[in-house]
């Protein structure tokens, strides 16, 4: 069956359909990871987006029950050069095609994804539609694509967050509130390996609801969409401003951006975002460079940084802000994903640093200079 990928600039690409049948609209983005297609598709941060893989063969090691980062596929469409009909891996249980069918997500193959990536890097992120339906005319779809709002105008965080406080029993000591704005399960696993209880709390939970849990610290998760969405500004930021003055707080990805907004910084939308497992990040305090896994379309504006906030890390490719630390409050954040999965584990020590910092009650500066003292924790 034929599928079409239609972009807002008028580009129409025909290919072979795979996955579910149907029509989905979204924002076309690309990821450069050679592996990790299942983790990416099930990452809530991809809500609202049609996900294109630059690596030419996707699905070659199949799909396993262990690799999901959530309970569903959050990407709204899948674009590949070729999907593998005969995957090979001891943990593989199904093909990429069947996985997408199971979750109702359409895909298209036979696309020159690298050429389309070059277009995206030049033109910027494009609104798009992927369809397997012959009854819809290209002109009709193009008109809708060109007039529809970008998906981040919607409160995507509300779509992906838990709806009620959910405790997760851990193997360590202490209690942490994980503000779920679209968390990946490997973040939950890493925190549960280090703390006694991890409370996943909704994005719009109040400060009093979180404090009632008698926690030791706050952890802000990743997630999709615009960090400055009016709903988030109205509900999440006031909670953060209250809590981060009382508890050691760390944020990653969207959580990093939300903490920046709570500090008083501003955020902006990147031309095409950072998505993949090979983003270099330079620590300005030590000079070291880490290779990191990232997935975000917005960034923090360094020009808006107040005097009491320190920029600790930058992207070595384009200089965008990758890390912040408050000079007075026990708050720090990173734009990249320390849990990787898949990807480099260079920065997994951030979870150990956070735990040691909580044990000190948020006292002192949690810098990388304490690397030698980090206790490696095995994740079951």
Q: Which positions are catalytic?
A: 253, 337, 339
Contacts 24+ apart (CB under 8 A), 118-121: 119/11, 120/28, 120/29, 120/30, 120/52, 120/272, 121/271, 121/272
For residue 177, the Cα-to-chain-centroid distance in whole angstroms is 19
Count CB atoms within 10 A of the CB of residue 237. Answer: 16
User: What is the rounded distance in angstroms from the CA atom of residue 226 to the CA atom of residue 234?
Assistant: 13
Non-local (6+) Cβ contacts of 216 within 8 A are 174, 175, 176, 195, 247, 248, 358
The residue among 259, 194, 193 whose CA lies nearest residue 221 is 259
User: What is the rounded distance in angstroms from the CA atom of residue 106 to the CA atom of residue 71?
Assistant: 18
Token readout for 49 is 């987006």
């Amino acid at each position: 069956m034929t599928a079409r990928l239609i972009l807002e600039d008028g580009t129409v690409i025909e290919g072979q359909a795979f996955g579910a049948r149907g029509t989905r609209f979204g924002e076309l983005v690309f990821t450069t990871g050679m592996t990790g297609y299942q983790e990416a598709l099930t990452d809530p941060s991809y809500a609202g987006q049609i996900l294109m893989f630059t690596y030419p063969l996707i699905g070659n090691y199949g799909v396993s029950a262990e690799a999901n980062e959530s309970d569903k596929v959050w990407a709204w469409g899948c674009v590949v050069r070729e999907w593998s009909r005969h995957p090979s891996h001891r943990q593989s249980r199904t093909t990429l095609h069947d996985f997408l069918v199971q979750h109702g997500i359409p895909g298209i193959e036979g696309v020159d994804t690298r050429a389309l990536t070059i277009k995206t890097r030049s033109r910027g992120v494009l609104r798009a539609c992927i369809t397997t339906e012959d009854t819809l005319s290209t002109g009709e779809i193009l008109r809708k694509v060109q007039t529809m709002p970008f998906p981040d105008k919607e409160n995507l965080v509300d779509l992906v967050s838990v709806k009620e406080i959910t405790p997760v029993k851990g193997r360590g000591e202490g209690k942490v509130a994980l503000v779920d704005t679209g968390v990946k399960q490997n973040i939950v696993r890493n925190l549960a390996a280090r703390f006694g209880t991890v409370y996943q709390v909704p994005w719009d939970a109040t400060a009093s609801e979180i404090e009632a849990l008698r926690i030791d610290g706050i952890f802000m998760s990743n997630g999709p969409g615009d960090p400055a969405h009016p709903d988030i500004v109205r509900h999440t930021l006031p909670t953060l401003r209250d809590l981060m003055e009382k508890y050691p707080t760390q944020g990653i990805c969207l959580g990093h951006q939300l903490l920046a907004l709570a500090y008083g910084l501003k955020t902006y939308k990147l031309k095409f975002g950072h998505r993949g497992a090979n983003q270099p990040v330079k620590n300005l305090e030590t000079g070291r460079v880490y290779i990191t896994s990232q997935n975000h379309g917005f960034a923090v504006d360094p020009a808006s940084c107040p005097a009491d906030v320190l920029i600790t890390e930058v992207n070595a490719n384009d200089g965008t802000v990758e890390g912040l630390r408050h000079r007075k409050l026990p708050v720090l954040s990173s734009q990249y994903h320390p849990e990787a999965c898949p990807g480099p584990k260079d920065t997994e020590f951030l979870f150990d640093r956070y735990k040691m910092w909580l044990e000190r009650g948020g006292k002192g500066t949690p810098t990388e200079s304490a690397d030698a003292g980090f206790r490696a924790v095995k994740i079951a």
